[in-house]
């Protein structure tokens, strides 16, 4: 079997979401064919595919047909069943492998793996019943975070528990499913390290990204992250050992909490990642091209950052009155609009993102926030009210992300603490 595949070959992708779409865009640009297994004709990657195989992501027979149509198979989500991947590994190279997905897709297995390789992580305990949850809370302490072991994303299947009287309700909230209870980490910053690893073990690292989440969902990413070089170096070493110990092939994202100068691994994603969308436009080689290169066994591309960048997610809430007027984005020369072609905007659904390139990423973030504010204001003139019911005049409020950036990783502990209080009160 050849170890690399040149243009003209076919990349098979199980999953048809925005990650698959952006992989397909890059693969096609490079002259590859793309097959996509996805349930619906209007899934984001389907219009970009040369061949669409309709099917659910656990449909073994459809996955076999996909494998037969392709030279290599990859996934756009870690939730494709590992058993299905082992079935098709007999037919074609599958990257990431079934073994990698088996370790990652169960948060309990993932935590055990991280422990085995001595990666630093929050205190955590596996729980299978409400009685075990109560016992685990004694070990982990309050506040803590309960996360279902399977199929979580964008904060789904999670509950923050502040006191013992919330245990029962939290257990209900995660669907009474096998879960992990983790200590709540009072982090100063969230960062992610993205790397690509080739079948021969070669690796390329992207500049670490600084991430701001709102209600447990990624809101914005800044690159390069405003962190000290030594911290970035430590973060890379942690990510490197995870990729090597997994024997991973493809893009890998490691989300980490930064507390002082200490890093703790939050979670690992064996694929291109939302916090790496900035690379698509800001780096010589995007994370999507890099993933395609890695799974095809090609030499890896140059990950270097051409210009500092900020990425802001666009959620379905902006569509509440129809398509937004994109002029505030399109009229700014430093802004690039990415829309995923999703036909059903829903509140909280990721519909696209905006990338801003600016030598001053803090200014880019402020401009990006103002851009989002004007998109939201335009959609909701005369009807929008803040969660407290008071009308918000555009530009009068320091947005949480600006506060987050002003505190940054370099601020004094007391400043960070005060800012954290302010952040949680602004949501």
Ligand X SMILES: Nc1ncnc2c1ncn2[C@@H]1O[C@H](COP(=O)(O)OP(=O)(O)O)[C@@H](O)[C@H]1O
Residues that bind ligand X (CB under 6 A): 122, 145, 147, 152-155, 182, 184-185, 190, 213, 216, 255, 266-267
| Residue 219 contacts which entry, ligand X, Mg ion, none (Cβ below 5-8 A, type-dependent) | none
Rounded Cα distance between 106 and 103, Å, is 6
- With DSSP H G I counted as helix, E B as strand and the rest as coil, what are the percentages for the chain, rounded to 5? 35, 25, 40
CB of 209 to Mg ion, least distance (A): 12
CB of 185 to Mg ion, least distance (A): 13
User: Binding pattern to Mg ion, positions 200-239, x when CB under 5 A?
Assistant: ----------------------------------------
CB of 215 to ligand X, least distance (A): 8
CB of 270 to ligand X, least distance (A): 13
| Residue 152 contacts which entry, Mg ion, ligand X, none (Cβ below 5-8 A, type-dependent) | ligand X
Instruction: State how beta strands 217-223 and 203-205 pair.
Output: unpaired
**Residue number, 183 or 255, with CB nearest to Mg ion:** 255
Instruction: State how beta strands 10-14 and 33-38 pair.
Output: parallel
| Residue 106 contacts which entry, ligand X, Mg ion, none (Cβ below 5-8 A, type-dependent) | none
| Residue 195 contacts which entry, ligand X, Mg ion, none (Cβ below 5-8 A, type-dependent) | none
Contact 125, 108 (CB under 8 A): no
Element (H, E) at 355: strand 350-357
The 3-state DSSP class for residue 199 equals: coil
Contact 14, 89 (CB under 8 A): no
DSSP string covering 82-110: HHHHHHHHTTS-BSS-HHHHHHHSBHHHH
Q: How many CA atoms lie within 13 A of 27 on its CB side?
A: 34
| Residue 239 contacts which entry, Mg ion, ligand X, none (Cβ below 5-8 A, type-dependent) | none
Q: Reading across the β-sheet that carries 72-75, which strands appear in turn?
A: 51-54, 33-38, 10-14, 72-75
CB of 153 to ligand X, least distance (A): 5
**Residue number, 266 or 290, with CB nearest to ligand X:** 266
CB of 372 to Mg ion, least distance (A): 21
**Residue number, 5 or 147, with CB nearest to Mg ion:** 147
| Residue 231 contacts which entry, ligand X, Mg ion, none (Cβ below 5-8 A, type-dependent) | none
**Residue number, 51 or 126, with CB nearest to ligand X:** 126
**Residue number, 232 or 267, with CB nearest to Mg ion:** 267
The 3-state DSSP class for residue 236 equals: helix
DSSP state of 317: G
**Residue number, 161 or 329, with CB nearest to ligand X:** 161
Q: Collect all residues with Cβ–Cβ distance below 8 Å to 220 and sequence separation of at least 6.
A: 211, 212, 310, 311, 312, 313, 365, 368, 401
| Residue 213 contacts which entry, ligand X, Mg ion, none (Cβ below 5-8 A, type-dependent) | ligand X
Judged by CB under 5 A, the chain residues 240 through 279 that form the site for Mg ion are: 255, 267
DSSP state of 184: P
CB of 390 to Mg ion, least distance (A): 32
Report the interface residues with Mg ion, using CB under 5 A: 255, 267
């Amino acid at each position: 079997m050849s170890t690399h595949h040149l243009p003209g070959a076919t990349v098979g992708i199980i999953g048809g979401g925005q990650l698959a779409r952006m992989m397909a865009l890059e693969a096609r640009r490079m002259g590859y064919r793309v097959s996509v297994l996805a349930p619906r004709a209007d899934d984001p990657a389907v219009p970009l595919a040369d061949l669409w195989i309709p099917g659910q992501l656990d449909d073994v027979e459809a996955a076999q047909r996909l494998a037969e149509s392709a030279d290599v198979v990859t996934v756009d989500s870690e939730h494709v069943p590992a058993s299905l991947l082992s079935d098709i590994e007999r037919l074609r190279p599958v990257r990431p492998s079934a073994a990698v997905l088996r370790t990652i897709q169960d948060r309990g297995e993932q935590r055990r793996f991280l422990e085995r390789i001595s990666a630093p992580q929050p205190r955590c305990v596996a729980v299978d019943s409400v009685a075990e949850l109560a016992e685990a809370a004694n070990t982990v302490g309050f506040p803590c975070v309960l996360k279902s072991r399977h199929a979580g994303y964008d904060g789904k299947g999670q509950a923050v528990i502040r006191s013992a009287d919330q245990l029962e309700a939290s257990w209900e909230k995660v669907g009474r499913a096998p879960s992990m209870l983790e200590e709540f980490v009072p982090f100063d910053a969230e960062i992610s390290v993205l790397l690509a690893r080739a079948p021969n073990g070669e690796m390329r690292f992207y500049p670490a990204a600084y991430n701001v989440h709102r209600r447990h969902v990624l809101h914005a990413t800044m690159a390069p992250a405003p962190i000290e070089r030594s911290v970035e170096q430590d973060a890379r070493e942690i990510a490197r050992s995870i990729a090597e110990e997994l024997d991973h092939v493809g893009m890998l994202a490691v989300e980490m909490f930064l507390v002082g100068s200490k890093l703790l691994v939050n979670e690992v994603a064996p694929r291109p990642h939302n916090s790496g969308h900035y690379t698509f436009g800001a780096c010589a080689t995007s994370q999507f091209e890099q993933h395609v290169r890695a799974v095809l066994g090609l030499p890896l591309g140059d990950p270097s950052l051409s210009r500092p960048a900020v990425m802001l997610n666009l959620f379905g809430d902006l569509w509440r009155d129809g398509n937004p007027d994109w002029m505030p984005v399109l009229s700014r020369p430093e802004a690039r609009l990415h829309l995923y072609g999703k036909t059903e905007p829903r509140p909280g659904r990721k519909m696209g993102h905006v990338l801003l390139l600016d030598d001053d990423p803090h200014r880019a973030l402020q401009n990006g926030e103002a851009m989002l504010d004007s998109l939201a204001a335009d959609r909701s003139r005369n009807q929008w009210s803040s969660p407290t019911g008071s009308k918000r005049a555009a530009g009068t409020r320091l947005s949480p992300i600006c506060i987050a950036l002003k505190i940054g990783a370099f601020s004094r502990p007391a400043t960070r603490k005060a800012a954290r209080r302010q952040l949680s009160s602004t949501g």
